[in-house]
A and B are shown apart, each in its own frame.
Chain A
Amino acid sequence: MRTYTSEIQAIIDNVEKVIVGKEDVITQSLAALLAGGHVLLEDVPGVGKTMLVRAFSRSIGLTFKRVQFTPDLLPSDLTGVSMYNQKTSQFEYRPGPLMGNIVLADEINRTSPKTQSALLEGMAEANVTVDGEIHTLPNPFFVMATQNPIEHEGTYPLPEAQLDRFLVKVKMGYPDFHQEMKLLNRFEREEPIETLESVIGRDELLRMKEEVKAVHVSQPVKKYIVNLVQATRTHSMLYLGASPRSSIALMKVAQAWAYMEGRTFVLPDDVKHLLTPVLSHRLILTADARYHGQSAERILEQVKKEVAVPIQHDVESL
């Protein structure tokens, strides 16, 4: 059992009122939120992706926006448009759904690359450009995009360069028998999401994000991160390894994780624990590896076993 600081534990408990038995998904998403990144949720419909995002926004007391991505969705549908106000004889900016704290981008791979890139620009730059004007997105700005891995008909799979912009990718997965029974019991008479109350506010979240940045990452841990990332680059079953951006991502999420566990420094355990969610969507397997039924997750497990954890400051070995 992991232990978290009381604030984090409060959020987790709150979200778990709605989502049963998905602690990993919750904590990893939370870590991404604290690290200032975005989450890619990959799973089949109906496992509670939307519920998770809503529970998050409610728990933290943030505004929640949802966009259903469809093939005919235009970038301006996301970012908002400038409309001419006849009264003032001026163009006025009408904010789109991106102007929220937590945005659920549902089925992101269903829309055209053009629209996708509008979303990704917002995610990367924390602002959007409409008619040449730059509009800053609210702070915090946290996108949770979902992607259905089953249907391929009429989809536009995200290019690797864009997947790279998601800090973590999490998989919801089905609940087990007991979890599902619990779920049914809970939803028998009421909608728990409706009664969910916020446990921390926006200001606290911003403060926490600042505190995450102060978490210490020691040289051995950095070395471990680099070793892990480099191991993916030389791996025989990987066509494309992880980018330097993923090293940074890994470090940031690990910082957030250490913060959540109430530590002021990152442990290799944090890095190891977060390796799969942070890297799995950034790797491309070789055709051969795919043919043999390998997956990025499995390869990363292997990498974890191969890369030794640095256990002291200097380079010399034990």
Chain B
Amino acid sequence: MIRRLMWNLLAGSLLACFMPPLLELTTFDSIVPFLPMLLVPLLVSHLKRRWFLSGSLLALLVSFYFILTPGEAPWLLLGEIMDDVSGVINGELPGRPAFAVSIGLISFLIGYLGRRTFPNRGFVVGLALGVIGFIAYCDTWTDYSGDQFILYPILLALFLLYATEINERPVASYVRPISALLIVGATVATAVQSPVITATWQDSWYDWTDGFEGSGTPSNTIQKVGYGSSDEQLGGPFQMDDREVFQVESEGNRYWRVETKDIYTGKGWVLSESNPEIDGRGFFSHFGKDVKTREESATFKLARELPFVPYNGDNVRLTANEQRQNLLINPENQKISYLDDATRQQNYQIQYAYPLFTEKLLQTDEPIQLSEMEQDRYLQLPRTLPRRVRDLAAEIVADEKTPWERAKAIENYFEQENFEYNTEEVAVPKENQDYVDQFLFETKLGYCDNFSTSATVLLRAAGLPARWVKGFTGGESDVIGAAVTSYTVRNKNAHSWVEVYIEGPGWVPLEPTVSFDGSGQYTINQETNNETEQANPQRDTESNPETATPNRPQEDLLDDTQTTTTEQTPQRSIPVWPIIGTVLALTFLYLFRKPLLRTFAILFFRSQINRPEGFRRMYRYLLRRLDKQGFHYKDGRTLAELAHEVDEYYETYAMRPLTDAYERMIYGGETLSLEKKREYFENIIRRVEG
């Protein structure tokens, strides 16, 4: 009994080793809901065959549910449990008290089946491998660092193995597959679907959605500090994410703008206090009145629902279902979203005014006429900004005459100074370190956030109003050169750049990030025609096929907000359904392996069995199958003895005649003359695989 208790404690501790990474990585911030998951199986396991106690525990759990949720019909329990299960699978931790009961019941089942099925070394080894593998997985793929912790499960597993008695119990045939299925299913579900906040496996998708729906964030979300979950804290590496965001048919490879941010904190970006979004044909203008524009339209096919409208230029109108839709426009950050969530469209068309700058217009030297408030916003710099950043800005623009030239000098600075584009070795600034300062003077290596933020800060330091823009680059296209081309925009195309305010043209985009085709250089067409098109953040594919290279930067959108909503569990890049399908298929094969094998064997040997070689093969196959059933021919049994045992065991008279014929072939050199071979064979194989 004490030994059993010890065993249970050790097993429980080993099981508990799942917890630290789980707590660190999921939005579950408390261990309490998991306690039943640990305690109940142990209790069940410890109670052994005391049905009464196990039953009482079960009853207690159920009544607990009714006490917590009075007045509910009993049959609702099942539904609630199903809800809870799917909730957990979807990464949701329901707040209801019934949840703990559900977990308890599931644990009861798992514990019971686990005890019935794997009370032996195999179970311990499997458990240990599971825990260690899980920690290793988390350590490799997520923020969690298990190098200290991994020692505990290993030690526990060794102790547990020591304490484990080999205790094979005969188990009903259905128990093993069911518990295997449960355990595999739970593992897959946990591994794939748990609401993990992975640092290096970022998914910009739900950051965006959260950014938009900030108010809808459920109370059970928690904040996690780590790289890039927010623009407030920039820095750190990330990985490419190839999932598609939308497809767009447009007249050129355009950048798709989403929003801007104005306040630089020294670590990242926040939005100054924003007014409520303005309904309507809401209007803001990026460009001065002298800027010529061209009406363009683009057709979007969203790969998934987007809580914002990517757009380009000015005066955006959206048509869906052949109807003009109302839009919510936030003039503070120029973010456009649907007025009504219910009408979020998977396919729509936007019209917009695409700007056509001219060199003449850009080279103006007019004084800035922004309002004082706007000037404050777009020239804002944190007090903590190191002096040397301002000095650098002054130095870069020293020889430039017009604001546009100064802006271009800053844009080109990174290229000239051989800054490196890199997404993997990007540092996170130390506690008292400025993000821009670190990039400009220390690392000189980073991705678009580093470049765009630094450029914005430098522009502001040089006295040019600037704001930080987030959006997507143009994506990839299979067809290049057609008038209207379809581009695929993926998560990795998420991008950030800069807009500088120049009196006259208005807000002009800049591309400071190196390796981005021409680094945002404006190849201004010097035609006399005022209609000269300006390749701006929107680069035409025709001229800039590089935009289609997979080397696109994409980072920015990854980090809009710090919160991850459990509600919005995104599709992971691990394909869930194929895995589940495979698991199910394997389970099916496993469950029906005997009939399948039997049928296969019967069909396979049907024609062969009358030929000596075929008969020999059949007999040996039979021996191998029997060996699996525990009739070993290798430990000195003769075939006749084996056949006798087999027939005795299966209560058949089939193995003996077959063996007789086989012996005559092998030892007697006679050709076989056994009638009803096939009958005998089918008879025995049915029993063996039965």
A contact set with B: CB distance below 8 Å:
216, 218, 220-221, 263-269, 272, 304-309, 311-313, 318
Contact = CB atoms under 8 A, between A and B. Distances in A.
Given A305-B636, A308-B635, A318-B624, A263 B668 contact: yes
Interface stretch (B429-437, B512-520, B600-608, B638-646): B638-646
Interface in B649-678: 663-664, 666-670
Nearest to A308: B634
A316 to B, nearest CB: 11
Interface string B84-120: 0000000000000000000000000000000000000
Contacts of A318: 620, 623-624
B668 A311 contact: no
A176 to B, nearest CB: 25
B637 interface: yes
B668 A265 contact: yes
A306 B624 CA distance: 19
A221 B636 contact: no
Contacts of B637: 309
B633 A268 contact: no
A311 B623 contact: yes
A309 B616 CA distance: 16
B653 to A, nearest CB: 16
A218 B624 CA distance: 23
B639 A268 contact: yes
Nearest to A306: B636
Contacts of B633: 308-309, 311
A269 B640 contact: yes
The 8 closest A-B pairs by CB, nearest first: A265-B668, A305-B636, A218-B667, A269-B638, A308-B634, A268-B638, A309-B638, A269-B640
B636 A216 contact: no
A272 B637 CA distance: 9
Interface in B484-519: none
B635 A305 contact: yes
B633 to A, nearest CB: 7
A317 to B, nearest CB: 9
Nearest to A215: B668
Contacts of A311: 620, 623, 633, 639, 666
A312 B668 contact: no
Contact of A267 (B616, B624, B636, B667): B667
Contacts of B634: 308
Nearest to B634: A308
23 contacts: A216-B667, A216-B668, A216-B669, A218-B667, A263-B668, A265-B667, A265-B670, A267-B663, A268-B667, A269-B638, A269-B641, A272-B638, A306-B635, A308-B634, A308-B635, A308-B636, A309-B633, A309-B637, A311-B620, A311-B623, A311-B639, A318-B620, A318-B623
Given A311-B633, A313-B666, 5 more contacts: A220-B667, A265-B664, A308-B633, A311-B620, A311-B639
Contacts of A264: 668
B372 to A, nearest CB: 93
Contacts of B639: 268, 309, 311
Contact of A266 (B624, B641, B667): B667
Nearest to B635: A305
Of A216, A218, A264, A309, the most chain B CB neighbours within 10 A belong to A309
Contacts of A268: 638-639, 667
Interface of B: 616, 620, 623-624, 633-641, 663-664, 666-670
Max chain A Cβ within 10 angstroms of own Cβ: one of B633, B636, B640:
B636
B638 A267 contact: yes
Contacts of A266: 667
Given A312-B616, A318-B624, A307 B667 contact: no
Nearest to B668: A265
A218 B636 CA distance: 18
A220 B620 CA distance: 15
A306 B634 CA distance: 8
Contact of B669 (A218, A267, A306): A218
Contacts of A218: 666-669
Contacts of A309: 633, 636-639
Contacts of A306: 635-636
Contacts of A304: 636
Nearest to A311: B639
Q: Considering residues A220, A264, A269, A305, which has the most beta carbons from chain B within 10 angstroms of its beta carbon? A: A269
Nearest to B616: A312
A312 B620 contact: yes
Contacts of A313: 666
Nearest to A310: B666
Nearest to B641: A269
A239 to B, nearest CB: 23
A309 B638 CA distance: 6
A263 B640 CA distance: 14
Contact of A221 (B640, B667, B670): B667
Interface centre among B616, B620, B641, B668 (most CB of A within 10 A): B668
B615 to A, nearest CB: 12
A304 B517 CA distance: 81
A308 B633 CA distance: 7
Contacts of B636: 272, 304-309
B666 A220 contact: yes
A237 B230 CA distance: 77
B510 to A, nearest CB: 75
B659 to A, nearest CB: 10
A267 B666 CA distance: 9
A19 B634 CA distance: 38
B583 to A, nearest CB: 33
A150 to B, nearest CB: 33
A274 to B, nearest CB: 13
A315 to B, nearest CB: 14
Contacts of B667: 216, 218, 220-221, 265-268
Nearest to A263: B668
Contacts of B623: 311, 318
A306 B635 CA distance: 6
Contacts of A307: 636
B469 to A, nearest CB: 72
Contacts of B668: 216, 218, 263-265
Nearest to A268: B638
A93 B123 CA distance: 84
B685 to A, nearest CB: 17
A305 B634 CA distance: 9
A221 B667 CA distance: 7
Nearest to B624: A318
A46 B492 CA distance: 101
Contacts of B624: 318
